[in-house]
Chain A
Amino acid sequence: MKKKSLQVRIREWLPGYMFLLPAMFFFILFVVYPMIKGIIISFYNYTATSYEFNGLGNFIFLLKDEVFIKSLQNTILFVIGNVPLVLIFSLFVSIVIYNKSEFTRSFFRAVFYLPAVSSIVTISIVWKWIYSPRGGILNKIIESFGAQPINWLGDERYALTAMIIILFTLSVGQPIILYIAALGNIPKDYIEVADLDGATAWQKFTNIYWPLILPTTLYIVIITTINSFQTFAIVQLLTGGGPFYRTSTILFSLYKSAFELQNYGLASAMGVILSVIVVIISVIQYKYLSTDVEY
């Protein structure tokens, strides 16, 4: 092949760059630049009245701050509570319905995706009413059995669990859709052979389904983890982080420092910590879970 002159080559490359330009413009202006800016701000003592370099001051402060540590712990509890629930439930539902009629599949897909699709504000306020200590249906049911009413969101013992249930209903829709698609892609003759060999349902699951859907499982674990780390709206709308910071999350702390205390430097430091954790966890999960995937 004859080597083309640089001018000719640039003319050939140009359309590619031109088509990329609009997306790149928005991306750099509203993602890349703010991200760099956010990292820089995290090293500053940046409040309504001051803007001065503070080194690692914000990070050191946060690692000693009881409220932040509590928010960090809660965020991790949200993840630990939600991810296994989502995984087990979505896998269970998908295996039962994936080879049923199109109507059955779309019906259940729609039902379980409904909370994710309707506004998060709606879900939050309906659950607030269901959990309400006075007049909430959950307590009405309990009282009809003669038990004492419980302040679900206001009692330290129940608040976090009550919130995880809401987070769970918000999280399962997408995994179910992904699993149904993944299971539908498994070649039918694998199952046929297993059936002819007289394999039990459990054998079919461990030897055929599970290895073949492992990449989907990996993806689901990662996105559910990342999404659980970003729990904010239900906290802001339902508990305000209470009782006694029992349901406060990193993002809720971030929001409070930025917009109630106007401590932008501290809020940015929380953002950096959150990003670092999310990235580390995604990398670990990817490394750990993808080693088994070989086919």
Chain B
Amino acid sequence: MGKAKVSTRIDEVQVVGQKKGVSVGYVVAVIVICLFAAFFLFPFYWMITGSFKPMASITASSLEIFPSTLSIMNWEKLFKYPAFKWLFNSMFTAFGTMVLVCLTSAMAGYSLAKKQYPGREALFWLFVGMMTLPRQVLLVPLFTMVSKWDWLDSYQGLIFPAVGWPFGVFLMKQFSQTLPTELLEAAKIDGCSEFRTFWDIVLPLVKPGMGALAIFTFMTSWNDYFWQLVLIQSTPMKTLPLGVAGLQMEWGTDYGLLMAGGTASSLPMIVVFLAFQKYFTKGITLGAVKG
């Protein structure tokens, strides 16, 4: 299309522009950003090394940026608690929420974007309107509701209320709008049933959007501290962050143990994030697209 040629020329102009004017200011800006990056990374470095520090070096008054002695005592102490059960609870909750959100949102998004029926606009705005309201306002009524149903301390209590949140529907509606209508009509003419059309044509096409939504939901569920705090009451049903928060209440100053707990509860999410960074980015930018 001849576009490649134009863009190389622009790149050259840009490079020249940078070399000309910005050198000092630019170098300062980069240094500032690197300093901030160090400031953001430091707590993680401090936490991970802290989890391997023996009590003596945690409480020592000297400034010890690099640990002199390492021990696994804190980790042994952490696993005296049901930390693996907590990990399982977090994983199961996040995964369950993710699957349900993705499926219901993909269906609803397809319906709102591509189907014609009365009330469609109104229903879409009902979903979007509720998204700006603080979710925590639902805390008291949700709590009284699920306790009446005997759902306290249960997986269904952790998972189902989170599935109601309309962000996924909004995101999948945005994404489904890009589907070619002709393709869906062709499937209809070929005699595809509604469900087949959705399952075999729509779902594969919205997969990138669903990937973004999946990652996003997983993260939100993993970090949904407020709801977990009020819902879960027994130690074995705690999620990992909640369990670690409990250690904080119990052993407020045993920082070695707390750092081991903190490392354990953030590591799974950090690994997921680094592996799927592309989808995170996509989920965040897709959600910001105006309807």
The interface of chain A, by Cβ under 8 A from chain B, is 12-13, 15-20, 22-24, 26-35, 37-38, 41, 89, 92-93, 96-97, 99, 106, 108-115, 117-130, 132, 134-135, 137, 140-141, 143-144, 169, 174, 177-178, 181, 188-189, 191-192, 195-196, 200-201, 215-216, 219, 226, 229-230, 232-233, 236-237, 251, 254-255, 258-259, 264, 267-268, 271-272, 274-275, 278-279, 282
- Report yes or no: B225 in contact with A99, Cβ–Cβ below 8 A: no
What DSSP secondary structure best describes chain B's contact surface?
A: helix
Of the candidates A20, A174, A195, A259, the one whose C-beta lies within 8 Å of that of B108 is: A20
Beta-carbon contact of B270 and A30 below 8 Å? no
Residues of B within 8 A of A (CB): 6-7, 10, 13-14, 16-17, 21-22, 25-26, 29-30, 32-33, 36-37, 40-41, 43-44, 46-47, 50, 58-63, 100, 103-105, 107-108, 110-112, 115-118, 120, 123, 126-127, 130, 132-145, 160-161, 163-166, 168-169, 194, 198, 219, 222-223, 225-226, 229-230, 240-242, 244-245, 248, 253, 255, 258-259, 261-263, 265-266, 269-270, 273-274, 277, 280-281, 284-285, 288, 290
**Chain B residues whose CB sits within 8 angstroms of the CB of A123 once the complex forms:** 43
Instruction: Tell me which residues across on chain B come within 8 A of A132, comparing CB atoms.
Output: 253, 255
Q: Is the CB of B41 within 8 A of A38?
A: no
State in angstroms the CA–CA spacing of A26 and B100 once bound together: 10
A19-B107, A109-B277, A201-B25 given; A114·B40 CB < 8 A: yes
CB-based contact B115/A96 at 8 Å: no
A149 CB → nearest B CB, Å: 10
Bound CA–CA A135/B62 (angstroms): 9
Q: What's the minimum C-beta distance from B192 to chain A, rounded to whole angstroms?
A: 12
Q: What residue in chain A is nearest B43 (Cβ atoms)?
A: A126
Among A35, A129, A196, which residue has its beta carbon within 8 angstroms of that of B130? Answer: A35
Q: Flag if A34 contacts B47 (CB, 8 Å).
A: no
CB distance from B184 to the nearest CB of A (A): 11
Count A-B contacts at CB 8 Å.
291
Chain A residue nearest in CB terms to B127: A27
Contacts of B143 in A (CB 8 A): 258
- Chain B contacts for A125, CB-based, 8 A: 244-245, 248, 255, 258-259, 261-262
Taken together as a complex, chains A and B put the C-alpha atoms of A144 and B64 apart, in Å, by: 11
Whose C-beta in chain A lies nearest to the C-beta of B90?
A119
Q: Contact: A181 with B108, CB < 8 Å?
A: no
Q: Is B107 in contact with A23, judged by CB distance below 8 angstroms?
A: yes
B26 to chain A, nearest CB (A): 7
Q: How far is the CB of B106 from chain A (nearest CB, A)?
A: 9
Once A19-B115, A267-B140 are accepted as A-B contacts, the answer to whether A119 and B120 lie under 8 Å apart by CB is: no
How many Å lie between the Cα of A31 and that of B138 in the bound state?
7
